[in-house]
Chain A
Amino acid sequence: MSPKLASLLDRLIAPALALALAMAIGHVLILVAGASPPEVFGALLAGTWGNGYGIAQVLFKATPLVFTGLAVAIPYRAGLFNIGAEGQVVAGALAAGFVGSHLPTAAPALVAVTTCVIAAFMAGALWGALPGWLRGRFGAHEVITSIMLNFIAMALANWVVADFLAQPQTLHTAAIVDGARLTRLGSWLPAFRGSAVNTALFLVPVVVAGTAWLLNRTATGHQLRSVGLGARVAEASGVPVARVQTLAMALGGGMAGMVGVNFVQGYKGYFEDGFSGGVGFMGIAVAMLARAEPWLLIPAALLFATLSQGGLAINALVPKEIVDVLVAVVLVVAAAAGARSARREEGS
């Protein structure tokens, strides 16, 4: 077996194991709740991958998870743990909403969309770069600073929206111009009608491919990975470690900021306080399950999106909190298996 294939299999073992164990525990819980497991799992599948709307909703929910997964995965490859995606999402979305609503109404779609996407990316990148810079400059641990910056971002957004940007009687900003809005896929595909899934979905493969290229085929990616796997070796080879760490956090923050594209430009048409609902934190789960490998983020995000959407579908049969338990089991097993194989690599 070629080492490439072996390492791919090695990476897939943990998620597969996690899924199997989650299913087994889900089985028991469903029995305890007095329902029939085949019926519940059947309903879960039917409500997600079983119809056009379900598929569309899974895709819609998976899109931000890929972005926040990247937000965690990129810094992770540079040896940093970004817990700040939640705040970076808020920064990006607020920027998209603010810029989008201040563009001239006549702005052509291409210009308006691009401007908003860039604004979302840059705002998230700035918010992400901050803990990276604090780490490189002062040695402040990014886990602590990025967590704290979550609260600061949410409080700031709350204040700015409530006192300056909110439309009367609401807690959201003015609507963005029509040109900045993204098309819902339902307008092309009747099967997807009713779902908010939109063209932001097409950004996913582009961004994932770009990240994979950046990490594996560029000088920047080589430096970033060398800092992640051996910062002291990198330093001795002339890599500007602090600068690379800041860059990795900025890139991650930018990815989180792009969640705003899906939400503001693709769904609501404005920024609304408290919309993010934990997608930033779910990004940690997605990245861990995917072992911070860009392409694996997509299946990992789809899995979590399926469970999330499926929870709604099975709510009539069993409490939908069962799905939260499944998510947690997937995570714990994936994290444990990841740590085990990391130890094995060290030991070899």
Chain B
Amino acid sequence: MSVAVELRGICKAYGALTANRAVDLTVDVGTVHAIVGENGAGKSTLMRILAGVEVADAGTVRILGESPARPTAREAIRLGLGMVHQHFMLVEPFTVAENLVLGHELLRAGLLDLAAARKAVADVSAAWGLEVPADARVEDLSVGEKQRVEILRVLYQGARVLVLDEPTAVLSPAEVTRLLAMLRRFAASGRTVLIVTHKLDEVMAVADRVTVLRRGERVGDLVTMQTSPAELAHLMVGRPVPMPGNRPDPPDADPAIDESIAGSASGGSGASAGARPAILTLDGLGLVAGGRSALAGVSFKVGAGEIVGIAGVIGNGQSELLDVLGGLRAGATGTVQFGGSDRVNLLTLSVAERIRAGVAHVPEDRADRGLVADFTVAENLMLGKLREFGPWYALGRTAVRAHADAVLERFDVRPRDPEAQASTLSGGNAQKVVLGREITRSPRLLLCGQPTRGVDIGAVEAIHAQLRALRDAGVGIVLVSAELTELLALCDRILVMHRGRITGEFLAGEADLDRIGELMLGATAAPAAAGIGGPP
């Protein structure tokens, strides 16, 4: 069997971060080869080097037996390699046919020969069962269709080796099945497919061989038939991970399991929140964003005086959860009951009404949602609480000043200058301003995203202390953080989110960093679920 792709000793570093460390990879012609690894393991970098989009620091690339004369994308295409990127590279207002011929237009007498382009679309499309309408405008297509246009273009360019970077991340389960079948047909026709993914069920379903990367290094190169998801996960994470066995279906396809976890999770929270009255009760919260499910069946309770942490790999629905609760994202289904005797469904309230009802929000992205950079600190501290400073037509300058001074003092913001521009503050001081503004609303519920992201170490402990004090004062807190250690340090309970669902729950003290890490990666919650319902 001849070799389609051969990488030898590929090294690539971005500053202090090593993305690839002496990676070797050999892929035979006519096979589907999967590259797996956790986020940041260096999969995408390796593929971008192969496709000529990035230049390696060291190492050699061979495509179908030839070395690229120059490390450019054009050269890789000439050698027969085509890459389908995670973010589509299509001109949205153009038709499929126009997109297909972009860059190497078919000309007849100096004019664009769209008839020939349409025929080319029809031919390639029919040959592979891609079913893409040649005259449809790309902007009118679904995500799955757009991806097929990308694949169509790569095939049209004559690619013998196809590289797909996380192709299933944006697809529905039905489209995933269809894509994987198509990849098998490519291999059967003598083409070669490289697929980057971190979904092990897809690997098992489609790949002939698997290469596992961990922290930039190749830690495994296996024949799919001779391995198991558990072994792959073990290699990816570096320690054993309990897996759902060799199920051919993706975990999403069997919602019953997740529902039962979510159900027991809310049962568990009911028990733990028994001592404290629940201030927030989510029931079956769902959200479809960009054509896919961002939140599904999210149910949990937050007690007054309780910090509930949300752990998860970025992009698994935590941001959407905060946005939905804060009123910054419409279209959610389910209910969110807030308050005690004055119970309301938060989803029916505007942002201003939520603030008045007692919801405060420290947004994940300070620069985007938290502070107006060109406002002074004092002006920023007025946001969302203008009524405190006198009648609307004459805000009291002394009241504004007194409020600003008080917040700067209490939260130890430096410099103690209410007239300083917000953009001049360090990350930690900027975060203290946001936190100060939100806490001094006297909220009953605080939504808090990444409270110490980009914050200097000195300020982290101060911010943690403020959150604890708030909790002790009886405020319920939903805390989303990418820092597991932060969640462990602060939370009374930690929920794990994976693909928009709650997949695990841990009480403070029972939480185990390793277990949470595994659940974040999509391992089954079965062993933990047994422990969920029980009392602490």
Q: Which residues of A contact B (CB under 8 A)?
A: 3, 217-220, 222-223, 225-226, 229-230, 232-240, 345-346, 348
User: Closest residue of chain B to A7, judged by CB?
Assistant: B421
Q: A217-B394, A237-B351, A345-B374 are in contact. Are A223 and B386 (CB under 8 A)?
A: yes
Count of residues in B whose CB is under 8 Å from the partner chain? 34
**In the complex the two chains form, is B351's CB within 8 Å of A235's CB?**
yes
Our pick among A218, A226, A238, A239 for the contact of B375 (Cβ within 8 Å) is: A226
**In the complex the two chains form, is A234's CB within 8 Å of B395's CB?**
no
* Residues in chain B near residue A218, CB distance under 8 A: 392-395
* Residues in chain A near residue B394, CB distance under 8 A: 217-218
Q: Does B320 sit at the interface, judged by CB under 8 A?
A: no
User: Closest residue of chain B to A4, judged by CB?
Assistant: B419
* Residues in chain A near residue B421, CB distance under 8 A: 348
**In the complex the two chains form, is B368's CB within 8 Å of A232's CB?**
yes
Q: Does B328 sit at the interface, judged by CB under 8 A?
A: yes
Cα distance, A3 to B420, chains bound together (Å): 9
Q: How close is B331's CB to chain A, nearest CB, in angstroms? A: 16
Cα distance, A3 to B417, chains bound together (Å): 12
Q: Does B354 sit at the interface, judged by CB under 8 A?
A: yes
Q: List 13 A-B contacts (CB under 8 A).
A: A218-B395, A222-B379, A226-B375, A229-B372, A230-B373, A233-B370, A236-B369, A237-B355, A238-B350, A238-B351, A238-B354, A239-B352, A240-B350
* Residues in chain A near residue B375, CB distance under 8 A: 225-226, 229-230
Cα distance, A218 to B390, chains bound together (Å): 9
* Residues in chain A near residue B393, CB distance under 8 A: 217-219
Residues from 335 to 371 in B contacting A, C-beta threshold 8 Å: 350-355, 361, 363, 368-371
Cα distance, A225 to B376, chains bound together (Å): 12
Our pick among A222, A236, A346 for the contact of B328 (Cβ within 8 Å) is: A236
Cα distance, A249 to B382, chains bound together (Å): 24
**In the complex the two chains form, is B328's CB within 8 Å of A235's CB?**
yes
**Of residues B350, B370, B397, which shows the largest number of chain A Cβ atoms within 10 Å of its Cβ?**
B370
**In the complex the two chains form, is A234's CB within 8 Å of B383's CB?**
yes
**In the complex the two chains form, is A233's CB within 8 Å of B386's CB?**
no
* Residues in chain A near residue B395, CB distance under 8 A: 217-219, 222
**In the complex the two chains form, is A233's CB within 8 Å of B372's CB?**
yes
Cα distance, A217 to B386, chains bound together (Å): 11
**In the complex the two chains form, is A237's CB within 8 Å of B374's CB?**
no
Q: A237-B351, A240-B352 are in contact. Are A222 and B386 (CB under 8 A)?
A: yes
Q: Considering the complex of A and B, which 5 residue pairs feature the smallest CB-CB distances, nearest first? A: A238-B352, A237-B384, A230-B372, A237-B383, A219-B392
* Residues in chain B near residue A234, CB distance under 8 A: 372, 383
Q: Does B228 sit at the interface, judged by CB under 8 A?
A: no
Q: A348-B423, A348-B424 are in contact. Are A236 and B372 (CB under 8 A)?
A: no
**In the complex the two chains form, is B370's CB within 8 Å of A236's CB?**
yes
User: Closest residue of chain A to B376, judged by CB?
Assistant: A3
**In the complex the two chains form, is B372's CB within 8 Å of A219's CB?**
no
**In the complex the two chains form, is A236's CB within 8 Å of B352's CB?**
no
Q: Which residues of B contact A (CB under 8 A)?
A: 326, 328, 350-355, 361, 363, 368-375, 379, 382-384, 386-387, 389, 392-395, 397, 419, 421, 423-424
Q: How close is B325's CB to chain A, nearest CB, in angstroms? A: 12
Q: How close is A220's CB to chain B, nearest CB, in angstroms? A: 6
Cα distance, A129 to B477, chains bound together (Å): 41
**Of residues B326, B386, B389, B423, which shows the largest number of chain A Cβ atoms within 10 Å of its Cβ?**
B386
Cα distance, A145 to B289, chains bound together (Å): 30
Q: How close is A261's CB to chain B, nearest CB, in angstroms? A: 24
* Residues in chain B near residue A223, CB distance under 8 A: 386
Cα distance, A1 to B85, chains bound together (Å): 53
Cα distance, A153 to B379, chains bound together (Å): 39
User: Closest residue of chain A to B361, judged by CB?
Assistant: A236
Cα distance, A119 to B363, chains bound together (Å): 44
**In the complex the two chains form, is A3's CB within 8 Å of B419's CB?**
yes
* Residues in chain B near residue A217, CB distance under 8 A: 393-395, 397
Cα distance, A3 to B421, chains bound together (Å): 10
User: Closest residue of chain A to B385, judged by CB?
Assistant: A237
* Residues in chain B near residue A222, CB distance under 8 A: 379, 382, 386, 395
User: Closest residue of chain A to B366, judged by CB?
Assistant: A233
Cα distance, A220 to B382, chains bound together (Å): 12
Q: How close is B353's CB to chain A, nearest CB, in angstroms? A: 8
Other contacts beyond A222-B379, A237-B355: 16, CB < 8 A: A217-B393, A217-B395, A219-B389, A219-B393, A222-B382, A229-B372, A229-B373, A230-B372, A233-B369, A234-B383, A235-B328, A237-B383, A238-B350, A240-B350, A346-B373, A348-B424
* Residues in chain A near residue B352, CB distance under 8 A: 238-240
Cα distance, A3 to B393, chains bound together (Å): 26
Our pick among B350, B387, B397 for the contact of A219 (Cβ within 8 Å) is: B387
Our pick among A225, A233, A239 for the contact of B371 (Cβ within 8 Å) is: A233
**In the complex the two chains form, is A229's CB within 8 Å of B419's CB?**
no
* Residues in chain B near residue A232, CB distance under 8 A: 368-369
* Residues in chain B near residue A235, CB distance under 8 A: 328, 351, 369
Cα distance, A219 to B355, chains bound together (Å): 16
**In the complex the two chains form, is B392's CB within 8 Å of A236's CB?**
no
**In the complex the two chains form, is A226's CB within 8 Å of B372's CB?**
yes
Cα distance, A265 to B421, chains bound together (Å): 45
Q: How close is B374's CB to chain A, nearest CB, in angstroms? A: 5
User: Closest residue of chain A to B400, judged by CB?
Assistant: A222
User: Closest residue of chain B to A218, judged by CB?
Assistant: B393
User: Closest residue of chain A to B423, judged by CB?
Assistant: A348
* Residues in chain A near residue B386, CB distance under 8 A: 219, 222-223
User: Closest residue of chain A to B438, judged by CB?
Assistant: A237
Our pick among B355, B361, B374 for the contact of A229 (Cβ within 8 Å) is: B374
Q: How close is B388's CB to chain A, nearest CB, in angstroms? A: 10
Q: How close is A196's CB to chain B, nearest CB, in angstroms? A: 35
**In the complex the two chains form, is B374's CB within 8 Å of A236's CB?**
no
Q: How close is A211's CB to chain B, nearest CB, in angstroms? A: 13
User: Closest residue of chain B to A238, judged by CB?
Assistant: B352
* Residues in chain B near residue A3, CB distance under 8 A: 419
* Residues in chain B near residue A239, CB distance under 8 A: 352, 383-384
Q: How close is A348's CB to chain B, nearest CB, in angstroms? A: 6
Q: A226-B375, A348-B424 are in contact. Are A236 and B382 (CB under 8 A)?
A: no
User: Closest residue of chain B to A3, judged by CB?
Assistant: B419
Cα distance, A230 to B371, chains bound together (Å): 8
